[in-house]
Structure formats: structure tokens, C-alpha cells
């Protein structure tokens, strides 16, 4: 269970995904990009734009229900990436490496890249940008919205009117 949260804004996600694109550009060109849905969709779109890559394939894989890990289920396998040779796989993050292991079996010859990585899974990806600790849960902008936060001086006191 995560004990810390790391909140990523749209702006930061765009910057970090562009940093990933800079790194990957050194390995380009790729024949196509495989986005691991859903989390990999937006980083894959940003990388595809920067690398001027217009062939986008998807693999749909569900491993988590909110913060609870389960058995990975492939709801859509790749159809146009062969054994992965020449392809770039993009996901938002690698945590335990469970999803990455499944995807690697499907596309063993692809280059696997994520924006964020945790220690338990980082050896399973070829390229990543930012490492966060294993006890941190990354909150993406599509999972969050701004809301009121009480002043620090009021911490521990019940909200007014409660
Ligand atoms: O390394 P792991 O422990 O496997 O965790 C990483 C995976 O978990 C999340 O996907 P999730 O299953 O939540 O599905 P989603 O992308 O549709 O949100 C995330 O997008 C990665 O794909
Ligand atoms: N949003 C989100 N999904 C995950 N799936 C596995 N680890 C994480 C995480 O830290 N954040
Ligand atoms: Mg995912």
C-alpha cells in the first residue's frame, strides 16, 4: 500500500513525456508505437508527435482496480506489430513490472519505454525518465481534480460547521 502520493500535472506530464521523446529520438526511427492502454495513451501521443511517428498500435491490459493489483488481463492484443521488432512500446509507468512482463511476452523484440518507474519494475524497461520510490502512488492528471485544501494552521481541527 502506498504511503506517499506524487501528483503529476498536465504540464509536468507533457514535459516528462517530451524528455522521454528526446531520449528515444536517439534510437529512432521506429516503424510504429504500441501504446499500452489506457495509461500509455497520452504519453504515446506526445512521443508520437515528437518522433513524427504516425503508426500507432494499442495493447489493452488491465492489472489494477484503483490501487489494488490483480491478475493482468489482456483485453486487446496487438495485431500489427509482429514480434515487436522495430516497434516502440510506451506506457505511463512501471511499478511491480507485472504489466511489462506480459507485454514483453507479446512483443519480445520491441523497445519498452515508460515516463515513470519504480525500483521493483525498472529493470523490465529499456528507457524511463523519472524514478519514484516503491511506496509512492503516482496520481495522474486524468485521475485528479483541484479542490480546496485547509490552511496548515487548521490541520487537525474539524472543518467549520462539522
Ligand atoms: O508495473 P505494474 O505493477 O504492472 O503497474 C503498471 C501498470 O499499472 C497501470 O495500469 P492499470 O492496470 O491501472 O490500467 P490503466 O492503464 O487502464 O489505468 C499503469 O498504467 C501500468 O500499465
Ligand atoms: N495511477 C497509478 N497507477 C498505477 N499502477 C501501478 N502503480 C501505479 C501508480 O503509482 N499510479
Ligand atoms: Mg496501464
Domain spans of the chain, in order of start: 2-144
The one catalytic residue in 95, 126, 135, 143 is 95
pTM above 0.90, yes or no: yes
Q: Which fold has domain 2-144?
A: Rossmann fold (3.40.50)
| ipTM, interface predicted TM-score of the complex | 0.99
98 is in an annotated binding site: yes
Give the pLDDT confidence of 92-110 residue by residue, as tens digits. Answer: 999 999 999 999 999 999 9
Regarding the beta carbon of 95 and ligand 1, being less than 6 Å apart is answered yes
Task: Report the separation in Å between the CA atom of 95 and the middle of ligand 2, taken as the mean of its atom positions.
Answer: 7
Give the pLDDT confidence of 52-97 residue by residue, as tens digits. Answer: 999 999 999 999 998 999 999 999 999 999 999 999 999 999 999 9
Report the C-alpha gap between 108 and 101 in whole angstroms: 10
Q: Which ligand is nearest to the CA of 114?
A: 1
CB contact set of 8 (below 8 Å; sequence gap of 6+):
16, 116, 138, 139, 140, 141
70 is in an annotated binding site: no
What's the pLDDT band for 130 if we cut at 50, 70, 90?
very high
Q: Cβ distance 113 to 128 under 8 Å?
A: yes
Is 16 considered catalytic here? no
Amino acid at each position: 500500500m502506498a504511503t506517499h502520493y506524487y501528483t503529476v500535472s498536465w504540464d509536468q506530464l507533457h514535459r516528462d513525456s517530451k524528455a522521454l521523446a528526446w531520449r528515444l529520438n536517439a534510437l529512432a526511427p521506429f516503424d510504429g508505437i504500441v501504446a499500452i492502454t489506457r495509461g500509455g495513451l497520452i504519453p504515446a501521443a506526445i512521443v508520437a508527435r515528437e518522433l513524427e511517428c504516425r503508426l500507432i498500435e494499442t495493447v489493452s491490459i488491465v492489472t489494477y482496480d484503483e490501487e489494488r493489483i490483480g491478475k493482468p488481463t489482456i483485453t486487446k492484443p496487438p495485431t500489427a506489430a509482429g514480434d515487436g521488432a522495430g516497434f516502440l512500446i510506451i506506457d505511463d509507468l512501471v511499478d511491480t513490472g507485472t504489466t511489462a512482463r506480459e507485454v514483453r511476452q507479446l512483443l519480445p523484440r520491441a523497445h519498452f519505454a515508460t515516463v515513470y518507474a519504480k525500483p521493483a519494475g525498472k529493470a523490465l524497461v529499456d528507457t524511463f525518465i523519472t524514478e519514484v520510490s516503491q511506496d509512492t502512488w503516482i496520481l495522474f492528471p486524468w485521475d485528479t481534480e483541484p479542490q480546496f485544501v485547509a490552511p496548515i494552521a487548521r490541520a487537525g481541527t474539524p472543518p467549520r460547521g462539522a
